[in-house]
Structure 1
Amino acid sequence: MSDHDTDARHRLAERMAGEITLSDDPGATMRKWRTEFDVSGTDLADELGVSPSVVSDYEGGRRDSPGIGIVRRVVEGLLAIDEARGGGRVRQHARVVEAGFDRDIVHDLREYPARVPISRVYDAVGATELAPGDDTTVAGHTVINSIQAITRLSSEEFYRLYGQSTNRVLVFTEVTRGESPLVALRVVTPTPSAVVLHGITPEECWEHAPKLARADGFSLAVADGPLEDLLGALREVA
């Protein structure tokens, strides 16, 4: 592991531990992180060398709030399990931490090892294209909460959502019609290669959205369904 990766891992571990320790419900936050890493309670218990009931009791609040020693072991256990599986979740969350964003703004930020067709991304998440763009392939994706991003990020911070390249799919969640994301993109240059408005159907999309997308040269699509399903599908794209 390079020094850069080690630093990113350390910052991620600190964020996880801090979030659990400072939470009003440490057990629920611990369970949330375990779920984020797709680790079963049994697998985490095996990694920690305890019985599954111990993990269950902490997460369910049936034991006293875990001290920093327990929290550190849980965090290191989750990271170790993921790294043994290839480190996909560690890299995913570390990128968000490195970019300086809170997790309630950025759900996922990922670079692909090679460009993939936009159509492949759309097929994976069940998206319907409303306007074609100038590019046919993308090199990554970013999934953001549209309300949080638009109300809290400066134009400079918004640009950092592009990660290593603007040649990516930018997915906006918590969309009602799409006016705000499309207007926001008009003041941020350059634009991404593709935009997905998540949570609406084609009929619910703002009527002027396709026209703005065509004017700025990016592909526009909409997708509905649970956010976790979309995130899971995107992880399988590349």
Structure 2
Amino acid sequence: MPDDPRGDLAERIAGEITLSDDPGATLRKWRTDFEVTQTELADELDVSSSVVSDYESGRRESPGIALVRRLVEALLDVDERRGGDHVRQYTRVLSAGFDSDVVLDLQEYPTAVELDDLYDAVDATEVVAGDRDQITGHTVIDSIQAIKRLRADEFYRLYGQSTSRVLAFTSVTRGESTGIALRVVNPTPNAVLLHGLSPEDLWEHAPELAQRDGYSLAVTEASLEDMLDALRDLA
């Protein structure tokens, strides 16, 4: 973990906004990711909400680095007053060496969780039972971004502290790419959860690959926000 996780996160966000081709849109992305309204951010900065709206829409000239830093610090201050959940979430992802649009969440659990309980929490259907029925963490991965941007050796870091976890993949169409990718990763996780699929949508060979490698395979059609909330509640 970095010595100054908040400072490292603030620097990462500020840099992304400043270097963006559309700083306003990038600011809006981070504000919504932190679940802070324009009014809340404006109140924190002691400006009118129209000022924040104008920056996000591009009606005002792109903010300079000094203002960007104020905006970012305000976001982090609001989150920390609420308990700091988003700061901790992004710090875990960044400290593992991933961008937040590749890994959406990465957590370790204080105690082992029954897979059945996790699947109930995210309204998932288990397609294949695995060799192990408990997990001690989760990683939520945007499958398209991971395939585009991660090297083969970087996939191992998706396990966090342990392979005793569920790897949850979003942006999945049928599950071919994730099934094939897991064939070359050894050891395999305890469980794989494919988001946005019904059992009928699943690639026909995915269950066979899961059985061969011994991991539980499940699908869920819950909204991404609901799935992330349910997984974080387990931590």
| TM-score bucket (shorter structure) | over 0.9
Please say if 1:107 is aligned against 2:98: no
1:95 is matched with 92
Shift in Å at residue 151 of structure 1?
Answer: 3.9
Quote the sequence identity (%). 66
Match of residue 205, structure 2, among 180, 204, 208 = 208
Question: Which amino acid in the other structure matches residue 57 of structure 2?
Answer: G
Match of residue 190, structure 1, among 180, 187, 192 = 187
Match of residue 160, structure 1, among 157, 162, 170 = 157
Q: How many residues align?
A: 235
* SS in structure 1 of the partner of residue 99 of structure 2: coil
Shift in Å at residue 35 of structure 1?
Answer: 0.7
**1:18-60 CA-partner distances (Å, limit 9, x unpaired):** 1111112211211111110111222222222222222222222
Question: Which amino acid in the other structure matches residue 106 of structure 2?
Answer: L
Please give the TM-score of this superposition, normalised by the length of structure 2: 0.92
Shift in Å at residue 5 of structure 1?
Answer: 5.1
2:175 is matched with 178
Please say if 1:137 is aligned against 2:104: no
Report if the CA contact (8 A) 1:196-1:221 is conserved: yes
* SS in structure 2 of the partner of residue 102 of structure 1: coil
Report if the CA contact (8 A) 2:122-2:222 is conserved: no
- Work out the CA distance in 2 between the residues paired with 1:89 and 1:153: 24
Report if the CA contact (8 A) 1:144-1:171 is conserved: yes
**1:53-102 CA-partner distances (Å, limit 9, x unpaired):** 22222222222211111110111111111112221111111111112222
Report if the CA contact (8 A) 1:12-1:93 is conserved: yes
Please say if 1:39 is aligned against 2:28: no
* Structure 1 vs Structure 2 CA RMSD: 1.7
> Structure 1: which 5+ residue stretches go unaligned?
none
> Structure 2: which 5+ residue stretches go unaligned?
none
2:25 is matched with 28
- Work out the CA distance in 2 between the residues paired with 1:148 and 1:237: 25
Please give the TM-score of this superposition, normalised by the length of structure 1: 0.91
1:65 is matched with 62
Moved over 3 A (4+): none
Shift in Å at residue 225 of structure 1?
Answer: 4.4
- Work out the CA distance in 2 between the residues paired with 1:115 and 1:142: 15
Question: Which amino acid in the other structure matches residue 207 of structure 2?
Answer: P
Deviates more, 1:20-29 or 1:68-77: 20-29
1:150 is matched with 147
Match of residue 71, structure 2, among 71, 74, 82 = 74
